Amino acid sequence: MVLSDLGAGQSAQIVNMQGMEPVMRKKLLNLGFLPKARVELIRFAPMGDSVVIRCANSNIALRKAIINNINVELL
């Protein structure tokens, strides 16, 4: 499943980030989006395009186009 499939408040573990541009993948890796890292979907933006994700004790807003490339498994 991909990160965008989670509901608000659900947690998961990152499996991989295949199919993403190398520049964006490197930025996310630097922010703590590493394989086996725990992520939690906090909330969706009012218009639905941005999503707030908690990873490595930080809240990060990402677009759905980006999180559709992050494969996760439920904890």
pTM of the shown model: 0.88
Domain 3-74 homologous superfamily, CATH:
Ferrous iron transport protein A (FeoA) (2.30.30.90)
> What is the pLDDT, as a whole number, of residue 33?
96
The stretches of 1-75 forming alpha helices (DSSP H) are 22-30, 64-67
For the chain, which residues make up each domain, given as ranges? 3-74
Strand stretches in the chain, DSSP E: 11-16, 38-44, 50-55, 58-63, 71-74
Residue-wise pLDDT tens for the chain (75 aa)? Answer: 999 999 999 999 999 998 899 999 999 999 999 999 999 999 998 887 899 999 999 999 999 999 999 999 998
Confidence at residue 27, expressed as pLDDT on a 0 to 100 scale: 96
